Amino acid sequence: MTTTGALADLSLRRARTAVVVAFAMAGLALASFLARTPSVREELGLSTAQLGLLLLCVSVSSVASLPASGPIVARLGPARSVAVGAVSVGLGQALVGVGLATATIAFAGLGLAFIGLGTGVWDVAMNVEGADVERRLGRSLMPKLHAAFSIGTVAGGGVGAATAAADVPLAVQMFAIAVITPMVVLLATKRFLGRETVPDVAPGASRFGILDAWREPRTLLVGLMVLGFAFTEGSANDWIALAFVDGYRANEAIGAVAFGSFMAAMTVGRFFGGRLLDRFGRVVMLRATAAVALVGLLLVLFGGSVPLALLGALLWGLGASLGFPVGMSAAADDPARAAARVSAVSSIGYTAFLAGPPLIGLLGQHVGILAALLVVLAALALGLLTSGAARPLPETGPKPS
């Protein structure tokens, strides 16, 4: 190998590590807060429905930022875009901490809005960077990158469980994460692939923008598939801890363990999912994992005991594991159009996070959280019906590992 080739290979391996860190920190920043949603409800004196509306702040702002994320990434490049997103998330976490410390709902809502704005840009940018690294490596990488996100969520769930068990105020936890998150991410983005912008126009080709992506039937169907699986995943993110506290009369630490169990199973599914996807194909794996998620959901809802419900949380997480990363891979099959398509698919998929918290919260206020989670069955059906759109485009995408 020439010196130039060796340096290029080293740079690529460093970029792979850096994007793994970006995914992991995104998961940790989000999950450390979500694992302690019962504390948010208690410290701010909210009802279940009001908690759902508060969580809507992060969902609305995140979805609102997604259509602009593609152009932002194309203009600034993934590295700068991820850095901007992480700083916004850190600022939001600090504001949430102020809101909790002072019992001020307005500060908490504003903080969640900043978290959502930063998360939207961060998410699209790191997926575009991950797809570029995957393509240059020549082997499947995206499921493992999303496994890194899940590892971050497991770590975040662990932080939430530990601080809850130790009676550490959630505000203190938020202030600490607000400092750590941007510092780590800013260091990681220095190792991203060295370019200022995403090359979204191939030689001799016409410009392909975000509006073009929204006109493509395949892109829209992939977005709906991601929406179905994201709702299946996101409903557990937002409500599984509270479902154990309210539905099974468990304490907050057990709720955090259930959340962590769900995330641990998602990590396993994503870590091994790449090779299974290469062997059986995207569509087969999406349908198989949807069936597993269905079994897990039914155990959580009707298991009748904490041990069976915890088993259900594991199966639910395993079944929900591949929908989002497969959707991102499908959107990024053509590297020249990846930024616009990932932005469009993310915008559709994140509608689940926009609709999920208030819908389940309002239903839960009247029928209980466990019964409200029955709406996830509709999300699984949507994922199944649209899974065929995830088939790889001809002669594109990473080579099997």
Secondary structure (DSSP) of 191-240: TS-S-SS---S-TTPPP--HHHHHT-HHHHHHHHHHHHHHHHHHHHHHHH
Regions of the chain short of the pLDDT cut 70: 1-8, 194-207, 353-354, 357, 395-401
- pLDDT tens column, 261-297: 898 898 889 888 888 888 898 899 999 999 999 999 9
Q: Report how far residue 178's alpha carbon sits from residue 23's, in angstroms, rounded to the nearest whole number.
A: 16
Q: Could you tell me which residues come within 8 angstroms of residue 383 by beta carbon, excluding any fewer than 6 positions away?
A: 225, 228, 229, 232, 286, 290, 323
Contacts 24+ apart (CB under 8 A), 102-108: 103/43, 103/44, 103/45, 105/44, 105/46, 105/54, 108/40, 108/44, 108/54
Q: What is the CATH number of domain 8-192+209-390?
A: 1.20.1250.20
Rounded to the nearest 10 degrees, what angle do helices 338-349 and 351-367 cross at? Answer: 10
- In the prediction, which pLDDT does 396 show? 46
- In the prediction, which pLDDT does 359 show? 81
Q: Could you tell me which residues come within 8 angstroms of residue 156 by beta carbon, excluding any fewer than 6 positions away?
A: 27, 28, 29, 30, 31, 32, 33, 34, 35, 263
The residue assigned the tokens 């497969």 is 326
For residue 249, give the DSSP letter: -
Beta carbons of 22 and 189 less than 8 angstroms apart: yes
Dihedral angle over CA of 168, 178, 78, 342, nearest 10 = 50
- In the prediction, which pLDDT does 295 show? 93
The token pair at 17 is 């590590």
Contacts 24+ apart (CB under 8 A), 358-363: 358/49, 358/52, 358/53, 358/55, 358/56, 359/52, 360/52, 360/235, 360/238, 360/239, 361/48, 361/49, 361/50, 361/51, 361/52, 361/53, 361/55, 362/49, 362/52
Q: Report how far residue 50's alpha carbon sits from residue 7's, in angstroms, rounded to the nearest whole number.
A: 54
**Is the C-alpha dihedral spanning 350, 231, 92, 49 positive or negative?**
positive
What is the end-to-end Cα distance of the chain in Å, rounded?
21
What residues does each domain of the chain span? Answer: 8-192+209-390
Q: Is 62 helix (H, G, I), strand (E, B) or coil?
A: helix
- In the prediction, which pLDDT does 200 show? 44
Q: How far is CA 291 from the centre of its chain?
A: 21
Q: Could you tell me which residues come within 8 angstroms of residue 342 by beta carbon, excluding any fewer than 6 positions away?
A: 70, 124, 127, 128, 131, 328, 331, 332
- In the prediction, which pLDDT does 195 show? 55
- In the prediction, which pLDDT does 2 show? 59
Q: Report how far residue 86's alpha carbon sits from residue 77's, in angstroms, rounded to the nearest whole number.
A: 14
Q: Report how far residue 195's alpha carbon sits from residue 78's, in angstroms, rounded to the nearest whole number.
A: 9
Global confidence as pTM: 0.74
The token pair at 264 is 């641990």
Q: Give the helix, strand, coil percentages of the chain, each rounded to 5.
A: 85, 0, 15
